[in-house]
């Protein structure tokens, strides 16, 4: 006969605890590379785009004034660069430097390894099912590490 299993968490606690667990892992990875979680998100956006400061603020749900410092600190470390937009003299575009891109790639690889490790307690079909349910839940307009165009 099967061993007794403790009851599942309710959906609220399950999602809350899962989110803290995943964020904890992301935070540790970021810290191991000298970054914060918000910088990891910033860099994830910059991987595919060269947005203006204000677009970045919208993606990250930050005030525009918060962007200045965030970008400045990354720029000081040689990870991103600012450049004036060609067609509007008010706009500053932000992009990754080659070092920044290297760092993003390292972090993304590590995130892949660590989240996979976390998910390795599930069977393959369970992982697929979880991915499907989570995809439905976040709605296809992917939000964070890979925000919508």
Residue 26, contacted partner among DNA, a second copy, none, CB below 5-8 A by kind: a second copy
Identify the bridge partners of residue 95 per DSSP, sorted by sequence position: 81
Neighbours of 147 (CB within 10 A): 19
Binding residues for DNA, per CB under 7 A?
35-36, 38-39, 52-55, 60-73, 82, 85, 88-93
User: Should residue 8 be labelled a site residue for a second copy when binding is judged by CB under 8 A?
Assistant: yes
The only residue of 31, 138, 148, 149 in contact with a second copy, by rule CB under 8 A: 138
Question: Which residue number, 85 or 122, has a Cβ lying nearer to a second copy?
Answer: 122
**Encoded tokens for 106:** 């390292």
The only residue of 43, 63, 129, 148 in contact with a second copy, by rule CB under 8 A: 129
Residue 86, contacted partner among a second copy, DNA, none, CB below 5-8 A by kind: none
Question: Which residue number, 27 or 110, has a Cβ lying nearer to DNA?
Answer: 27
Q: Closest Cα partner for 35 from 51, 21, 46?
A: 46
In whole angstroms, the minimum distance from the beta carbon of 60 to DNA comes to 7
Query: Could you tell me which stretch among 2-10, 66-74, 79-87, 92-100 binds a second copy (CB under 8 A)?
Result: 2-10
Q: Closest Cα partner for 92 from 80, 79, 104?
A: 80
Query: Could you tell me which stretch among 51-59, 65-73, 76-84, 128-136 binds a second copy (CB under 8 A)?
Result: 128-136
The only residue of 45, 52, 56, 111 in contact with a second copy, by rule CB under 8 A: 111
């Amino acid at each position: 006969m099967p061993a007794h299993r403790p009851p599942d968490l309710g959906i609220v606690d399950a999602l809350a605890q899962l989110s803290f667990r995943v964020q904890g892992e992301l935070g540790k990875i970021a810290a191991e590379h000298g970054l914060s979680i918000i910088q990891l998100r910033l860099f994830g956006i910059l991987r595919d785009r060269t947005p203006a400061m204000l677009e970045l603020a919208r993606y990250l749900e930050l005030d525009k004034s918060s962007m200045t410092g965030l970008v400045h600190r990354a720029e000081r470390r040689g990870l991103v660069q600012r450049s004036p937009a060609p067609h509007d003299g008010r706009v500053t575009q932000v992009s990754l430097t080659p070092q920044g891109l290297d760092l993003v790639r390292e972090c993304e690889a590590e995130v892949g390894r660590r989240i996979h490790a976390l998910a390795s307690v599930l069977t393959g079909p369970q992982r697929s099912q979880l991915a499907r349910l989570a995809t439905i839940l976040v709605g296809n307009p992917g939000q964070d590490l890979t925000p919508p165009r």
